[in-house]
Amino acid sequence: MQKILIKNIKGLVQAGEDIPLIRKGKDMQELPIVKNAFLYLEDNEVIAYGKMDDWKEIGSSSDIEIIDAEGCFVLPAFCDSHTHTVFSKTREEEFVDRIHGMSYEEIALKGGGILNSAAKLAEMTEEELFNSAQERIQKMIACGTGAIEIKSGYGLSVAAELKMLRVIKKLKATNKIEIKATFLGAHAFPLAYKENHRGYIDLIIKELLPLIAKEELAEYIDVFCEKNYFSVDEMAEIISAGKEYGLIPKVHVNQFTILGGVKKAVEMGALSVDHLEEIDQEDILALQNSNCMPTFLPGCSHFLGIPFGAARKIMAADLPLALASDFNPGSAPNYNLFTIWSLACIKMKMTPEEALNALTINSAYAMGLQGTHGKICLGSKAPIILTKAIPSLAYLPYSFGEVNVSRVFI
């Protein structure tokens, strides 16, 4: 058995036996920190933690690896509840097109964007896709990510969507961290179906969903509800078909346009509504008294130069919110959640504590891991981050671009 004692921890963050499943509104400012603490793990299960004064009770045995964490913080690993980690090639040519003045929409309309990624993915084998995603996941873990949701949606055909989802299933089986799979066949209309939406929606509902259910390839169903993509009615039809197969909705809404998708998704029991660069009072009303987690993706706002989510407005309405990377080759080629933490503080005016709640317990909720992930408590086996020696917790989002991780326990 592997026994690890981390002692002299400057701050043990989000640790306790009564950490709530989510924090919302004003409570997002709350973040428990045990100062001068210890944490004792057996095979990465939390067996004991507390003030340094109490650590002697464990005794000192020669087979314990003792880590002196003087000046360091220990925190629960981040949960990344929205990613597109399985993809083919990167798309820096579109990045350059945008510098020259083209918009994301214009690039997509000339065949770039999601369709560009789908064309490239069609040429890749399952093995190539798996290997590249596996490499990305190891980098994500090294940056402190301890649970990842991954979407399909760069397939857009029966064969290629299944290929993506099978890759995600294999990633689940070969990684120790929790990985959740989301079916996003409704990410864009393939060229052949541009004028035949009915045909593609039928393909999703009649051909893909039964196969996905049979092979148990997904937990969630997603739709990109947006102008030039899927309408609110189309989203509703696809979500309701997905629900028949036990898939829980988690959707892309309000990235560029408010179409009324938030209200519809909430009514249909969405676990989360993601993006929300645009949001109005009606959306906020729909979210109040619901169990749906609004999720912001500041990496996408930053990369595309579109508005950042109105986090303060959401919290002022006594709502919770989660933060995620949206890691993908088109709108957010960044998986480092320390960067997301910084952007949330700098651009969305969230305090370091609020943003960390959004990256831990609230994002755990947004991927069905509430209660087990995003916190440190007795019996937990969820991943944990040991930082480098740093002056304060706020230094982590302050030192933007730096990854102050010394070790991740998985």
Residues near Fe ion, by CB under 5 A: 326
In what helix (H) or strand (E) does residue 341 lie, and over which residues does it extend? helix 337-348
Terminal-residue alpha carbon distance, the chain = 14
Residues 6+ apart with CB under 8 A from 215: 162, 165, 166, 169
Q: Is 114 in the site for ligand NIG (CB under 6 A)?
A: yes
Return the one option of Fe ion, ligand NIG, none that residue 218 interacts with (CB less than 5 to 8 A, by type). none
The stretch among 34-42, 71-79, 109-117, 372-380 that binds ligand NIG (CB under 6 A) is 109-117
Q: How many CB atoms lie within 10 A of CB 343?
A: 23
Cβ proximity to ligand NIG, 320 vs 329, nearer residue = 329
Q: Shortest approach of ligand NIG to residue 379 CB, angstroms?
A: 35
Q: How far is the CB of 271 from Fe ion (least distance, A)?
A: 15
When CB distances to ligand NIG are compared, the closest residue is 330
Q: CB–CB of 385/410 below 8 Å?
A: no
Residue (113 or 352) nearer to ligand NIG, CB: 113
Q: Which string of b and e fits 2-17 if b means at least 16 CB within 10 Å?
A: eebbbbebbbbbbbee
How far apart are the C-alpha atoms of 381 and 372, rounded to whole Å? 8
Q: Of 144, 31, 20, 140, give the one whose Cα is nearest residue 84.
A: 140
Residues 67, 3 contacting (CB under 8 angstroms) = no
Cβ closest to Fe ion, residue 178 vs residue 326: 326
* Smallest distance from ligand NIG to CB 49, Å: 37
5/359 with CB nearer ligand NIG: 359
Q: Write down the least CB distance from residue 343 to Fe ion, Å.
A: 16
Q: Rounded to whole angstroms, how far apart are CA atoms 152 and 218?
A: 9
Residue span 324-363 as binding mask against ligand NIG, x where in contact by CB under 6 A, dash where not: --x-xxxxx-------------------------------
300 binds, among ligand NIG, Fe ion, none (CB under 5 to 8 A by kind): ligand NIG
Query: Measured from the CB of residue 118, what is the shortest distance to ligand NIG in angstroms?
Result: 9
Instruction: Give the shortest CB-104-to-ligand NIG separation in angstroms.
Output: 7
Q: Which residues fall within 8 angstroms of residue 59, CB to CB, at 6 or more apart?
A: none
| Nearest residue (CB) to ligand NIG, 48 versus 232 | 232
Residue 63 · residue 4 · CB < 8 Å = no
Positions in 182-241 near ligand NIG (CB under 6 A): 224
Q: Minimum Å distance from CB 132 to ligand NIG? A: 15
Location of structure tokens 């509840």: 81
- Taking a C-beta distance cutoff of 8 angstroms, is the pair 261, 251 a contact? yes
- Contact residues for ligand NIG (CB under 6 A)? 113-114, 117, 224, 252, 255, 300, 326, 328-332
